[in-house]
Amino acid sequence: MADLPELTVQGWGPSGDRVATVAAREGAVSPDDGVLELAPDAGDGLPRAARKLLARELGWTPRPTPPVPVREIRLAPSRLPADVRARFVALLGEDAVLDDRAARLGHAGGKSYLDLLRRRGGDASDAPDAVLLPDGTEQVAALLRTCGDLGVVVVPFGGGTSVVGGLAGTDADDRPVVAVDLRRMADVRALDVPSALVTVGPGMRGPALEEALAPEGLTLGHLPQSWEFATLGGYAATRSAGQSSTGVGRFDDLVAGLTLATPSGVLELGRPPASAAGPDLLGLALGSEGTLGVITELRLRVRPRPRSSHYEGWSFRSWAAGLAALQRLARHDLLPDVVRLSDPDETRVSLRQSGGLGARALRGTLRARRRGDGCLLVVGWEGLPTIVRARRSAASSVLRDGGAVRLGSRVGRSWVRHRFAAPYLRDRLLDNGLLVETLETAATWSALPGVYDAVRRALRGALTGSGRRPLVMTHVSHGYPTGASLYLTVLADRDDDLPIQQWLTAKRAATDALLAAGGTLTHHHGVGVDHRPWLAQEIGPLGVDLLRTVRSRLDPQGICNPGVLLPD
Ligand SMILES: Cc1cc2nc3c(=O)[nH]c(=O)nc-3n(C[C@H](O)[C@H](O)[C@H](O)COP(=O)(O)OP(=O)(O)OC[C@H]3O[C@@H](n4cnc5c(N)ncnc54)[C@H](O)[C@@H]3O)c2cc1C
């Protein structure tokens, strides 16, 4: 069995060490390069500076809100009938059918704030009745046919990092649910170096693929913040975007083809390098979130590993000036590979966190240049040294013309060091009475400022009161010729009596507001359970009907992840 990093039942796990190990493996930092700035320095596990800052910003009184011990989490007995279990054993082998408590709890839901709140409170009602570990397309196809015949719901399970309730495992007909964990399908199956194509199993994780590609001097270059845990199949099923996606492309762009096993048969989709044989059915599988079947193989575009990379910081006086400069870069095809423009709130917090973006020295630089905190921009270029130099030089002129001041590569190095760290901090915030969640959208350049204002206003309106005031931090995370995405991090004092209701109210207000202002329902997290009430607003009732029709052809019994994506 593949050697998996440990995911705790409650959250991301306590270890800051892993961030250091992964960043070092990636070649971004040396193991002793200070990543352990993350290590807690206050008794409550939070960095002291963060604790002080948040108390001031939020009107929050730190208090211990630990998760219930794992042994106290409530888990209903498995509903899988013995004869059905026996059929699975006959199909997959005894060691591939798990229905013990640890396996079921380990596959309960994903990693959204609501998922974590439920499990921390001892509720594992979203746990599957069993976990199955198939090994290959044929086994998955046979399994789907069997589940269709027996009326068993299938939830494909990659890394379990869904943040939109994609693994909720709900079924209106209350049928037994199995999680189909793809960890045994985590191999490199073929590498076609001249065509720059790699064929992989869906359960493979990014770090393992990068290790396999390194000897050939190749990389996939898809680096979402969940890179340590999420799988390649999960990226395709949710249309993920990574930190360098402005340059490398979203995961959609990296998929040249895939195999989709459905209860009605196996589809081979996508034909590199390009084809005009009718509509591109590959697009149906990308973002299908397990509702059409299981992605059992992916053919991915890879590229030469960058021989040079350069990350640096800039400062704008205002958010509007920063957006205008990014728009200008986009128009001239000069957007860097990494583009992250923080709004004033995110910049202020970054500049005041120990271990943030080089904090004190940076504030000194800004003071010396008679500027306030302003808005931080982190940009990065990756590729051949001459190309990196040329693109950087051209983009720097546009940034300077837009009024930006260069802060230097220390900011960039600090961002690289901390790029996978936030999830670890999130668990500590949850332990101390805080609401912490993220949401994201995208809009055209012309609609973006309105979407930004509307969603922040909605979140503030919903989360302010009883002495509480939320902190809403936003950054542009990916740029396109036509617009950009916004990524929002929300922190607030948790309502200990009604924590789930508190977030549901805020989320509803934010989603209504961003859609009304012209934003998309989701830029890269997907739909899951959380966004499905709004899907018809995004794609129209006819669009929803079309997806339902495709689904009923491929999955007539409706066994494939029925609780997600499509509204009731
Ligand atoms: C801390 C944190 C940071 C994150 N950062 C990012 C980020 O930077 N960018 C980003 O895009 N996302 C991010 N995410 C969200 C998440 O990592 C992505 O949605 C990711 O693509 C999910 O991959 P996974 O393997 O964990 O899938 P899972 O969570 O296991 O599954 C997600 C959905 O896809 C389905 N699915 C999974 N595998 C398959 C398959 N083989 N066939 C069919 N369906 C399948 C599941 O049924 C489910 O509906 C983050 C999440 C967390 C918790």
For the Cβ of 45 lying below 6 angstroms from any atom of ligand 1, the answer is no
Cα separation, 369 vs 407, in Å, equals 10
DSSP labels, 378-439 = EEEEEE-HHHHHHHHHHHHHHHHHTT-EEEEHHHHHHHHHHTTTHHHHHHHHHTTTEEEEEE
Structure-block tokens of residue 109: 């839901």
pTM above 0.85, yes or no: yes
Instruction: Identify the three-state secondary structure at position 136.
Output: coil
Strand partners for 257: 299
CB atoms within 10 A of CB 512: 15
Structure-block tokens of residue 478: 């990916």
Cβ-defined contacts of 280-285 (< 8 Å, 24+) = 282/255, 282/257, 282/258, 284/550, 285/236, 285/237, 285/258, 285/260
Give me ligand 1 centre to Cα 558, in Å: 22
For the Cβ of 524 lying below 6 angstroms from any atom of ligand 1, the answer is yes
pLDDT at res. 358: 60
Residues 48, 354 contacting (CB under 8 angstroms): yes
The continuous run of DSSP H or E covering 348 comes out as helix 344-352
Atom of ligand 1 nearest to the CA of 233: 41
For the Cβ of 414 lying below 6 angstroms from any atom of ligand 1, the answer is no
Structure-block tokens of residue 561: 């992840």
Give me ligand 1 centre to Cα 404, in Å: 35
Cβ contacts of residue 126 below 8 Å, gap of 6+? Answer: 108, 109, 115, 118, 167, 168, 169, 170
Give me ligand 1 centre to Cα 167, in Å: 9
For the Cβ of 206 lying below 6 angstroms from any atom of ligand 1, the answer is no
Cα separation, 145 vs 554, in Å, equals 11
For the Cβ of 177 lying below 6 angstroms from any atom of ligand 1, the answer is no
Cα separation, 258 vs 189, in Å, equals 13
Which amino acid appears at position 401 of this protein?
D
Give me ligand 1 centre to Cα 479, in Å: 21
Give me ligand 1 centre to Cα 160, in Å: 7
The continuous run of DSSP H or E covering 330 comes out as helix 319-331
For the Cβ of 225 lying below 6 angstroms from any atom of ligand 1, the answer is yes
Give me ligand 1 centre to Cα 234, in Å: 5
Give me ligand 1 centre to Cα 525, in Å: 7
Structure-block tokens of residue 507: 């989320």
- Burial string for 78-100 (b: 16+ CB within 10 Å, else e) reads bebeeebbebbeebbeeebbbbe
For the Cβ of 234 lying below 6 angstroms from any atom of ligand 1, the answer is yes
pLDDT at res. 355: 53
Name the residue among 48, 34, 5 with its Cα closest to residue 417: 34
Cβ contacts of residue 360 below 8 Å, gap of 6+? Answer: none
Our CA angle for 250, 414, 47, nearest 5°, is 110
pLDDT at res. 371: 76
Strand partners for 375: 316
Per-residue tens of pLDDT for the chain, all 568 residues = 333 333 444 454 433 334 333 333 433 333 222 222 334 455 667 877 788 889 989 989 889 999 999 999 999 999 999 999 999 999 999 999 999 999 999 999 999 999 999 999 999 999 999 999 999 999 999 999 999 999 999 999 999 999 999 999 889 999 999 999 999 999 999 999 999 999 999 999 999 999 999 999 999 999 999 999 999 999 999 999 999 999 999 999 999 999 999 999 999 999 999 999 999 999 999 999 999 999 999 999 999 999 999 999 999 999 999 999 999 999 999 999 999 999 999 999 988 875 545 666 677 777 777 677 899 999 999 999 999 999 999 999 999 999 999 999 988 988 898 888 877 788 889 999 999 999 999 999 999 999 999 999 999 999 999 889 999 999 999 999 999 999 999 999 999 999 999 999 999 999 999 999 999 999 999 999 999 999 999 999 999 999 999 999 999 999 999 999 999 8
Give me ligand 1 centre to Cα 435, in Å: 21
Question: Under the phi-then-psi rule, with left for phi > 0, alpha for psi from -120 to 50, and beta for the rest, what region is 101?
Answer: alpha
Residues 119, 67 contacting (CB under 8 angstroms): yes
Cα separation, 421 vs 58, in Å, equals 22
Residues 60, 93 contacting (CB under 8 angstroms): no
For the Cβ of 58 lying below 6 angstroms from any atom of ligand 1, the answer is no
pLDDT at res. 367: 73
Give me ligand 1 centre to Cα 452, in Å: 25
Q: How far, in Å, are 65, 150, 184, 221, 289 from residue 255 at the CA level?
A: 42, 33, 21, 13, 15
- Burial string for 317-347 (b: 16+ CB within 10 Å, else e) reads bebeebbbbbbbbbeeebbbbbbbbbbbbbb
Residues 150, 87 contacting (CB under 8 angstroms): yes
Which amino acid residue places its CA nearest to atom 23 of ligand 1? 234
Phi (first) and psi of residue 54, to 5 degrees:
-70, -35
Structure-block tokens of residue 428: 């500590």
Cα separation, 551 vs 455, in Å, equals 33
Q: How far, in Å, are 55, 302, 430, 463 from residue 493 at the CA level?
A: 9, 44, 10, 9
Which amino acid residue places its CA nearest to atom 50 of ligand 1? 226
Which amino acid residue places its CA nearest to atom 37 of ligand 1? 234
Residues 558, 172 contacting (CB under 8 angstroms): no
Our CA angle for 275, 236, 101, nearest 5°, is 150
Question: Under the phi-then-psi rule, with left for phi > 0, alpha for psi from -120 to 50, and beta for the rest, what region is 214?
Answer: alpha
pLDDT at res. 354: 54
